[in-house]
Amino acid sequence: MVTGGPPPSPPRDIVARSWQRMLRLGLDPGGGNRRVHSAEADVESRRHRSKLRLIVDELRSVLLRTPASAGFILVVTDADGVILWRDGASRAKRQADGLGFVEGAHWSESVVGTNAIGTALAEEAPVQLFSAEHFETSQHPWYCSAVPIHDPSDGQLLGVVDISGPALTLHPTVQSLVTTAVRLAEARLLLGHQERLGGLRDRYSPMLSASREPALIVDDDGWVAYRQGVTTRERIEAPIPERTVLIPGAGLCLPERVTGGWVLRPAGDRQTSVTLRLETDPAVLDVASSADPLVVPLTPRRAQILAAITSAGQAGVSASALSTLLYGDADHVVTVRAEVSRLRRSIGALIATRPYRWAEGVNARIEGAQPRPAPR
């Protein structure tokens, strides 16, 4: 209620769930909760890293050029609930200043209680809150309509778009307006992603087409802009400077930095030889190619994993079987998957998955006695 008194009926389910979270956190509905503000340099860094910087001007254009915009403010946060951009009606901004509803403020539930931004992040769903539905009484004079925005290329949560204003100025179309703006923004992000991949392809594919050797052009996140003589998924692991990547059909490739992405071409022979040397302390994995050799020190656990994968041949070994081998039961599958994932990050995509096995084009052998499973 606008008066701040008790509601005449039970709160909506989404509000009740949030209030329960606030009570468990021990937050004060009277507004005595500690505020968190990021330094200006941190806010600028977050803006620079956020893909929302690409569409914030379009959000302003859609949401701040309507008759209803005379009474509200537009707020865009990152996935942590940090306000990166704020714009809109001057009077509403002055009132928001008093709440600490400013750029750089952390507006997650754990900091300021139930609010549309924080609750939209917690529920990962659109949220509209009115007056006393907010947990802190200082926010009761406000309404807020927030919609999460995702990266359409991979579904990653990017942040929240929110419209807020004095409670008595709430317009019935606000929530649908924010939802429409977010959908348009996501479509623009997808189009921009496709345009950037197209630009990469147009700039660098002529350089590769003169040669018949296998090659890939990918962006910084590993999305494939162009492929030549290889078959891959739409996305590979994001390249890292000086670290080789195994591409089926191309062998071991060394990433070459170009503007906006990477070119990957064979670093040597398409056949890659790896030797698991168990007699050394610590055990190591030697990766041989015509490029600079790669020598990776191994923990005892990783040496056991690679020994099992090598012994299994192309038939491979499942996570469940690895768990039984390493721990004596099949109850440690999650641990095994995490360990193999970390191992793959250190040696590239030499290991294929489902089941775990050496990737196509890798010839592997073991030197030295195989290690016994380490104690649990």
As a whole number of angstroms, the distance between CA 191 and CA 185 comes to 10
pLDDT at 4 over 80: no
Dig out the tokens for 340 from the structure: 């193999």
User: Which pLDDT band, with edges at 50, 70 and 90, does 161 fall under?
Assistant: very high
State the pLDDT at residue 80: 96
- For β-strands 284-288 and 294-297, DSSP reports them as antiparallel
Tell me the per-residue pLDDT of 274-322, one tens digit each, with 9 for 90 and over. 889 888 888 888 877 545 567 888 999 999 999 999 999 989 999 999 9
Q: Which has more confidence, 167 or 263?
A: 263
Residue 330: pLDDT over 80 = yes
Given this model, what pLDDT does residue 112 score? 93
Task: For the chain, give every domain's residue range.
Answer: 13-192, 212-266, 272-367
Q: 13-192 with 272-367: one CATH topology?
A: no
Q: What would the CATH number be for the domain defined by 272-367?
A: 1.10.10.10
Query: pLDDT digits over 69-93, tens only?
Result: 778 899 999 999 999 999 999 999 9
Residue 223 has pLDDT above 90, yes or no: yes
Tell me the average pLDDT across 114-134: 94
Residue 18 above 70 pLDDT? yes
List all residues 6 or more positions away from 17 whose beta carbon is below 8 Å from its beta carbon. 123
The answer, as to whether pTM is greater than 0.85, is no
Per the CB < 8 A criterion, the answer to whether 374 and 300 are in contact is yes
Question: Residue 372 has what pLDDT?
Answer: 55
The order of strands in the sheet holding 284-288 is: 294-297, 284-288, 272-277, 362-367
Examine the pLDDT at 1 and tell me if it is beyond 50.
Answer: no
8 pLDDT tier (thresholds 50, 70, 90): low
Q: How far is the C-alpha of 327 from the C-alpha of 335, rounded, in Å?
A: 10
What CATH number belongs to 13-192? 3.30.450.40
Average pLDDT estimate for 220-245: 85
Instruction: Give the whole-angstrom CA distance, residue 366 versus residue 364.
Output: 7
Identify the weakest region by mean pLDDT among 117-126, 262-271, 300-309, 365-374: 365-374
